[in-house]
Chains A and B, each alone.
Chain A
Amino acid sequence: MKQDNITNQRISGAEALVRSLLEAGADTVFGYPGGAILPVYDCLYDYADRLRHILVRHEQGAVHAAQGFARVSGRTGVVIVTSGPGAANVITGLSDAMADSTPLVVVTGQVGQQYLGSDAFQETDVVGITQPITKWAYQVRRAEDIPAAVARAFYIASTGRPGPVVLDIAKDAQIGTLDWLYEPVNFIRSYNPSPEIDTKLIAEAAEIINAATRPMILVGQGVTISGAEDALRNLAEKASIPVCSTLLGLSALPSDHRLMKGMLGMHGNLGPNINTNRADVIVAVGMRFDDRVTGNTELYAPDAKIIHIDIDQSEFDKTVRSTVAVHADAREALEALLPLVTDAGHNEWIDSFDRHNRVEDREVAAVELNRPEGSKLTMGEVISRVSEAIGDRAVAVTDVGQNQMMSARYFRFTRPRSFITSGGLGTMGFGLPAAIGAKIAAPHRQVCLFCGDGGFQMTIQELGTIMQYGVGVKMIILNNNFLGNVRQWQNLFYNRRFSQTPMLNPDFVRIAAAYGICGEDVSEREQLDAAIGRMLADDRPYLLNVRIDETDMVFPMIPAGSAVDRIFLSEGRIYNPDNWSEQ
């Protein structure tokens, strides 16, 4: 490897950066030029045929696009921005990628070495600011350090629990020269991303699973990241264990798999949440017991022995105590468990999920999906009609809020890496740029964005990116002229005082038109299917601005801080599973 790369060429640091990105496997970068990164942009001009650069309209958009790219493809997303304001604008995305374990390498330009620390023009302390919200942040001050820093950055970003990495490259390091040599990194002394599996713990876990009468598997994004979808399915099928998913775990198992029982947490399904507090064994795989999943941890899963499988040791016992903590890659752990588990049937237990979910279908979904004639459209209706029409292989990208929860509930997933959403950080404005990145990573898959009118306007300028590169994203604005999720909380918990949630919105279709993007308004139920048909008729970007009933709320709902089995089916109506007559 080493030999092939020695060319005895003296090249600039900027060129070394571009070549190193190519060596590390990148073919696309998202970015925005500026003073302190100009040498790199000058070099990108020569490499345009090998390294495609997508010019976004704001640096925040570059990071979210790289996140969408990474989440759909499993590859590391790459971002290049300038110093100072350029770097400051990537903070939200870095924090989001850190929360959602997304592999990113973000290159920021930095002022020249002689100006460091002097409050120079467009200088900001990028490493100092980003250290708490990145997996690794490093400043490069010499040209000859660039290849090794890039190799290290990609290795750190993509291994173990993935995350964002920042390389802050001083301008003189970009201009200086070096002898070109690139060596990939696969070892760092202070870092072990692939812990050896403890077979004793696996045996212990299998014993607990085999003795269970009411077991369930909780799936997080770790399953997708480690490519453990088949291993998960095999284990669940062999041992007959129902599977429930976190928001980011969705699409690891197809929605219609007989053991897939739905989503956990605040707006999750009845079966998963009620049965969390009835299970005797919980196998949590690549998930971290977020507070949106657990509600009140003191009242969480009181009867369950918890087997927690995670690649990140710091997640063990962080919010919920486990009986067995397996520090391992999800796929390796599930594959190791498979031969040791036995099929215990659990039929009655499995049926109990469906029994609760049937109540939800009737009491919640049917109300959302079957509205009386002449009433306004609901989010659930639109999402489920798009989901039906768009068919197999589609990727759903969402923004944050009601649009996101409704998408999680009503979009049907058939294959992995089909749901891209901002989970941990809950970043409004994530959706549009993330959808762009997703479509660029997967040009042959349909990518549709479900977004609210508020979030859409947070990164609306990325319509320019769609225009410039002809990115065929299908955008559906679920427009209720309100910040809907905040409105829902105000409605339920703040006496209907709708403080600063009504929004006067522009004509979105005309805005899209100004960017050369086709679109249409939909306000009547009868228009919807035909409009969806036109949207999906070709590969071009399209915008549907759908007028939604502003009183539409996401249910079921577990109020923040409640036990997971205290679930509202609608306003003021709690589900009592022990005292529910099936009509």
Chain B
Amino acid sequence: MLPPERQLFTVTVYSENCVGLLNQVSVIFTRRCLNIEDVSASASSVPDIHKLTLTTWADRPTMEKVVRQIEKRVDVIRAFLYTDDDIVYQEVALYKVPTPRLLESAAVEDIVRHHGARILEMTPDYTVIEKSGHPWETEALLNRLRSLDIRQFVRSGRVAVTKSPVEHVDIYLEQQRRRQLKLKDK
């Protein structure tokens, strides 16, 4: 039997905002020797609920198990598995280039127009350029700037929202609210 096909998955984890949550989630990847490509952590639209977004290359059967094992953690509210088709996603990249080289090259217009980037800060020494987009877009700008003697480059983890009209976390929280009311009546 052929091994199942590997692809890039996005896992989103809604959880209580508590110390050590990231460790609880990341060790589930570690156990299966899965490399986390990138990760971001932030607040969610629900007050007090935290959202992690992780990406990893793996096969679907493995990832389905991983997500269930993440969701099993007591502090985790819900966890979901997506491929790129299911979500709208972006990353932010910052580039630091020497200002003299940038001005010499007359690349500014190309950078701003064609790459849709913006200049965040410009000093006589250096310029910081920001671009958000898909990985291949931030990568393209990186390649464009290499010739300008780029000094620093950094890319954030992926942030993603689903295309689905159903908000599963809200449904879960509503179910739990009803369960809590029932328990109180008892």
Q: Do A and B come from one complex?
A: yes
Interface residues of A (CB under 8 A from B): 127-128, 131-132, 135-137, 139, 156, 186-192, 298, 312-314, 316-318
Chain A residues with Cβ below 8 Å from B69 are: 314
Other-chain residue from B20, B65, B68, B176 in contact with A189 (beta carbon distance below 8 A): B176
Other-chain residue from A137, A187, A312 in contact with B72 (beta carbon distance below 8 A): A312
A190 touches B15 (CB 8 A): yes
Chain B residues with Cβ below 8 Å from A188 are: 74
Chain B residues with Cβ below 8 Å from A318 are: 65, 68
A190 touches B72 (CB 8 A): no
Show 21 A/B contacts (Cβ-Cβ < 8 Å), sorted by A: A127-B19, A128-B23, A131-B20, A131-B27, A132-B24, A135-B74, A187-B179, A188-B74, A189-B16, A189-B173, A189-B176, A189-B180, A190-B76, A191-B74, A312-B72, A313-B68, A314-B71, A314-B72, A316-B68, A317-B65, A318-B68
Q: CA–CA, A357 to B179, complex, Å?
A: 48
B180 touches A187 (CB 8 A): yes
B64 within 8 A of A: yes
| Shortest distance between the CB of A101 and any CB in chain B (Å) | 12
Chain A residues with Cβ below 8 Å from B183 are: 186-187
A131 touches B76 (CB 8 A): no
B163 within 8 A of A: no
B113 within 8 A of A: no
B31 within 8 A of A: yes
Asked whether A131 and B179 contact (CB < 8 A) given A190-B16, A190-B77, A314-B69, the answer is no
Q: Name the CB-closest residue of B to A141.
A: B19
Q: CA–CA, A139 to B19, complex, Å?
A: 9
Chain B residues with Cβ below 8 Å from A316 are: 68
Other-chain residue from B16, B23, B64, B65 in contact with A131 (beta carbon distance below 8 A): B23
| Shortest distance between the CB of B57 and any CB in chain A (Å) | 21
Other-chain residue from B19, B31, B74, B175 in contact with A190 (beta carbon distance below 8 A): B74
Q: CA–CA, A312 to B71, complex, Å?
A: 10
A127 touches B20 (CB 8 A): yes
| Shortest distance between the CB of B7 and any CB in chain A (Å) | 19
Interface residues of B (CB under 8 A from A): 1, 15-16, 19-20, 23-24, 27, 31, 64-65, 68-69, 71-72, 74-77, 173, 175-176, 179-180, 183
Q: Name the CB-closest residue of B to A161.
A: B72
A156 touches B74 (CB 8 A): yes
Q: CA–CA, A131 to B15, complex, Å?
A: 16
What would 7 more interface pairs be, CB under 8 Å, given A132-B31, A188-B74? A190-B76, A191-B74, A298-B1, A314-B65, A314-B68, A314-B71, A317-B65
Chain A residues with Cβ below 8 Å from B19 are: 127, 139
Chain B residues with Cβ below 8 Å from A312 are: 72
| Shortest distance between the CB of A164 and any CB in chain B (Å) | 12
Chain B residues with Cβ below 8 Å from A132 are: 24, 27, 31
Q: CA–CA, A156 to B73, complex, Å?
A: 11
Secondary structure at the A interface, as helix, strand, loop or mixed, is: mixed
Q: CA–CA, A188 to B176, complex, Å?
A: 9
Asked whether A317 and B64 contact (CB < 8 A) given A127-B20, A131-B20, A312-B72, the answer is yes
Chain B residues with Cβ below 8 Å from A131 are: 20, 23-24, 27
Chain B residues with Cβ below 8 Å from A137 are: 20
Asked whether A313 and B72 contact (CB < 8 A) given A131-B23, A190-B16, A318-B65, the answer is yes
Across the A-B interface, give the 3 residue pairs with the lowest CB-CB distance, nearest first. A314-B68, A132-B27, A190-B77
Asked whether A192 and B24 contact (CB < 8 A) given A135-B74, A156-B74, A313-B72, the answer is no
Q: CA–CA, A188 to B74, complex, Å?
A: 9
Q: Name the CB-closest residue of B to A190.
A: B77
A192 touches B65 (CB 8 A): no
Other-chain residue from A136, A187, A298, A313 in contact with B74 (beta carbon distance below 8 A): A136
Q: Name the CB-closest residue of B to A186.
A: B183
| Shortest distance between the CB of B28 and any CB in chain A (Å) | 8
Q: CA–CA, A128 to B77, complex, Å?
A: 20
Chain A residues with Cβ below 8 Å from B75 are: 136, 190
Chain A residues with Cβ below 8 Å from B31 are: 132
A189 touches B24 (CB 8 A): no
Q: CA–CA, A196 to B118, complex, Å?
A: 52
| Shortest distance between the CB of A426 and any CB in chain B (Å) | 18
| Shortest distance between the CB of B65 and any CB in chain A (Å) | 6
Q: Name the CB-closest residue of B to A189.
A: B176
Chain B residues with Cβ below 8 Å from A139 are: 19
Chain A residues with Cβ below 8 Å from B27 are: 131-132
B16 touches A313 (CB 8 A): no
Q: Name the CB-closest residue of A to B16.
A: A190
Chain B residues with Cβ below 8 Å from A128 are: 20, 23
B176 touches A192 (CB 8 A): yes
Q: Name the CB-closest residue of A to B78.
A: A190
Chain A residues with Cβ below 8 Å from B74 are: 135-136, 156, 188, 190-191
Q: CA–CA, A187 to B72, complex, Å?
A: 16
| Shortest distance between the CB of B90 and any CB in chain A (Å) | 27
Q: CA–CA, A136 to B20, complex, Å?
A: 11
Chain A residues with Cβ below 8 Å from B176 are: 189, 192
Q: CA–CA, A313 to B175, complex, Å?
A: 17
Chain B residues with Cβ below 8 Å from A314 are: 65, 68-69, 71-72
Which of A187, A192, A298 has the largest number of chain B CB atoms within 10 A?
Answer: A187
Q: Name the CB-closest residue of A to B21.
A: A131
Q: CA–CA, A334 to B116, complex, Å?
A: 61
| Shortest distance between the CB of B119 and any CB in chain A (Å) | 40
Chain B residues with Cβ below 8 Å from A187 are: 179-180, 183
| Shortest distance between the CB of A570 and any CB in chain B (Å) | 34
Q: CA–CA, A188 to B24, complex, Å?
A: 18
Q: CA–CA, A186 to B183, complex, Å?
A: 8
| Shortest distance between the CB of A326 and any CB in chain B (Å) | 15
| Shortest distance between the CB of A276 and any CB in chain B (Å) | 21
